[in-house]
A and B are shown apart, each in its own frame.
Chain A
Amino acid sequence: MSDDKKVALFVTCLVDLFRPAIGFAAVELLEQAGFKVDVPLNQTCCGQPNYNSGDRSATRTVARGTIDLFADYDYVVIPSGSCGGMLKQQYPSLFDADDPMQKRAEQLSSRVYELSTFLMEKTTLKIAARCNKTVTYHDSCAGLREMGIREQPRELLQQVDELKLKEMNDSDVCCGFGGTFCVKYPDISNNMLENKIRNIKASEADCVVAGDLGCILNIEGKLHRNGEPIPVYHYAELLVNRTDARD
């Protein structure tokens, strides 16, 4: 069923370093869907930290490397709305219209998918997982507003046996991560994060699910600091029953 399409996983720097399990969960889902997955070793960060810090020139250099590296794949799948947004929406805006790189950035953009969107649109995968928990889903900002991810992960989660999805209030309001924002303005970030934690607790869910590691680390770190025994997962982890072995 994979009709010989070449699929690459863009791991993202955060998953590579902090939660490799999410990368392996993504690979497993793509393999379940019938694809052979390539993970090009020479991939790096997508360049978003530089881009959002105003370092456009370094961002262009990173983008060129990524565009070259993934030139021959039919699909580039990313387990992150934020990094996905960077490759899909922002890369094309980095280059002038007369720069040949611009066209190549557009070409890459058309082949980039965030994982849940890819699974819903390009595969007929039926989720075979079980989770006897009530979960609440946090919409990551870039995933929601740059990549239009709202229903996809929710629909996938609904396929998990025994899983109950319970919406929290303001699930689409920022958790306060914001890349470097959370270390530049830690107290404002914390205020936003505390609002998020309040809404999570009010939902009475057993665990939180999100699709971006930035939000996951942020929310999970705060819950731990507060002594709340509420785990935070990437949806891919739940979809392959990987909620125990976290690292």
Chain B
Amino acid sequence: MQVTSDQFVKVSDKALHDSKLQASMSFLGMGLSLRRKLAKEGLAEFDTLRDEARDIKDHVLQNLDVYLQSFEEKVEASGGHVHWASNAGEARDIVLTICQGVGARTVTKSKSMVTEEIELVPHLEAHGIQTVETDLGEYIIQLRNEKPSHIIAPAIHLNKNQIAETFFEHHSKIGFNEKLTERADLVAEARQILREKFLAADVGISGANFLVADSGTIVLVTNEGNAELTTGLPDTHIVVTGIEKIVPTFEDVSTFVRLLARSAVGMEISSYTSFITGPRRRDDRDGPTNFHIVLVDNGRSDMLGTEFQDMLRCIRCSACLNHCPVYLSVGGHAYGSVYSGPMGAVLTPQLSGIDKAGHLPNASTFCGRCEEVCPVRIPLPKLMRHWREKEFEKHLAPSALRRGIIVWGWLNRFPLLYRVAIAFAARFMHLFGSTKGEWMTNLPGIASGWTRHRDMKVSRSGSFMSQWKKRT
């Protein structure tokens, strides 16, 4: 996965000055947090379901090998094929080989973050296979050659006018010469173009929200219906997904389905929830004759048994993004990874190495809203802190800050020295206050970050401890 998280400050700075993006983010933040809140209030057992979902995932992660094996057996028994990919390169090659094997020229794709993670589309295109994203948001950013800025709303960084311009630029080349302005017209045009692709496709590629171990079923949760056309029309269906998507039974799926849409967009259930087991059977009137599942590891099994294991519970609902004040300030592209927001800040360093993604777990106030809304109760701030610990161990943290922290830690070991230092600083503030007024407006060094945007009121009374000593 190509990660440009080292550019976080530069890209976020641009984002902070992008009024269109700021408008989109403010819409996202206000709209979805309110809708989730209402959906949660409408389901008395919501928090109990979260506990159950966490426990189911923990149980699966403890027994992942057993459930994966069971899943594989059921898929094979239903006539499908399971492929194991230990990394992104293997996953890409498996998919390419299947596509080439059936002589595919056109591939349709429904939304899948794992295919973004392994950069599947550029790989297929490089081998001459036209690959069309059919989720509307993904379709838009494919036209614009952009990465998703949100895990379920990939084009959330764009407004209607930007999308209209993009459509006109690309669609006018294929005979759609009208400049559209209405939402419904834009959707209708995309639908008309995509219908042709659905009918022409030789292979359909989808992700999976859940894999049911005891039946070999894949579960797809979508709103647009494009996934059903992607998986149902072509003669070959390839599912590309992560090994952590396993749940034991259908009963367990229902727990997650009740949580997923509510957490994501405040809906009780998504428009489409499809259960697909194996290829077309003898009596089926439609469906693919070839059914493949590519199970991608790509660093996931390395997280098992570590302090990051809880992250494997993630069901990619996006609630943590929608409630994160940092994400809502800078948008998804600033993270330089297809996984953004709090979940991306934990997952990206795992996929790319903390040396390349150090900004992400640091760009958090640990406000805890993400953990508060996570449907599977992932302690995201704690996991981000673990990445900071790895960074500190490896001396990767910025050196001025690191030195400051080490000195502070050292000072705290010697209470007397600490007290003297605080009294000295208080004395300095007193002097400053007496000569220059009660507000500091231009601090040096690391503290300049403070006075860049705000002032600091000085205390002129001396430290609490020095006053307390006088009192007693």
Contact = CB atoms under 8 A, between A and B. Distances in A.
B446 A183 contact: yes
Contacts of B392: 53-56
Interface in A12-26: 13, 15-21, 23-24
Contact of A17 (B363, B416, B426, B469): B426
A66 to B, nearest CB: 9
Contact of A188 (B363, B406, B461): B363
Given A44-B412, A178-B364, A17 B459 contact: yes
Interface stretch (A70-78, A108-116, A220-228): A220-228
Contacts of A211: none
B27 interface: no
A58 interface: yes
B449 interface: yes
B439 A20 contact: no
Chain A: number of interface residues, binned into ranges: 35 or more
A16 B453 CA distance: 24
A174 B325 contact: yes
Q: Which of B325, B329, B362, B363 has the most CB of A within 10 A?
A: B325
A11 B372 CA distance: 28
Interface in B426-450: 426, 429, 433, 438-439, 441, 446-450
B459 A247 contact: yes
A13 B415 CA distance: 12
Interface stretch (B8-16, B44-52, B342-350): B8-16
Chain B: number of interface residues, binned into ranges: 35 or more
A59 interface: yes
B410 interface: yes
A23 B464 CA distance: 7
B422 A51 contact: no
B457 A217 contact: yes
A141 interface: yes
A58 B367 contact: no
A62 interface: yes
Q: Is the interface of A mostly helix, strand, loop or mixed?
A: helix
B371 A16 contact: no
A173 interface: yes
Nearest to B439: A224
B463 A20 contact: yes
Interface string A180-192: 1111111111111
B105 interface: no
A231 to B, nearest CB: 10
Contact of B453 (A47, A65, A193, A195): A193
A47 B326 CA distance: 24
Interface string B388-410: 11111100011001100110111
Contact of B412 (A18, A23, A62, A179): A62
A188 B13 CA distance: 8
Given A174-B325, A182-B449, A185-B9, A20 B362 contact: no
Interface of B: 9, 12-13, 16, 325-326, 329-330, 362-369, 371-372, 385, 387-393, 397-398, 401-402, 405-406, 408-413, 415-416, 418-419, 422, 425-426, 429, 433, 438-439, 441, 446-450, 452-465, 467-469
13 contacts: A24-B464, A52-B366, A53-B388, A53-B401, A174-B369, A180-B401, A183-B446, A187-B12, A221-B456, A224-B455, A225-B455, A247-B433, A247-B459
Give 5 closest A-B pairs by Cβ, nearest first.
A178-B365, A58-B409, A54-B392, A183-B449, A221-B454
